[in-house]
Amino acid sequence: MSNTRAWRTKPRTSKPNSRQKRNGLYLDAHPQCHWCNEPSSEAHHCLPHGHPKRFEWQNMHALCRACHVKEHRPQQVLRPVQSGG
């Protein structure tokens, strides 16, 4: 979860790697969060690590930081309440 826009604004001595370039290009093309329409800051990959089509743009979403955190938060499993009987 890197913020490539902030990375590009800071003076650096090293060049950005291919991941930072790809995510930065995606965020430039999709400036609003996919869910809440706030300014996007992070590129979310919808497919798991190792999937061959993980880096294709149709399998990515531009998200704000808050929505990206929500996406990666483990979902709670609701269990039925057992009646005392």
What confidence score (pLDDT) does residue 65 get?
94
Tokens 């998200």 belong to which residue? 63
How many domains, the chain? 1
Average model confidence (pLDDT) across the chain: 81
For residue 17, tell me if it sits in a domain: yes
Tell whether the model's pLDDT for residue 7 goes beyond 80.
Answer: no
Length of the chain: 85
Give residue 11's domain range. Answer: 4-72
For residue 85, tell me if it sits in a domain: no
For residue 82, tell me if it sits in a domain: no
- Confidence band of 72 (pLDDT split at 50, 70, 90): confident
What confidence score (pLDDT) does residue 56 get?
85
Contacts 24+ apart (CB under 8 A), 76-83: none
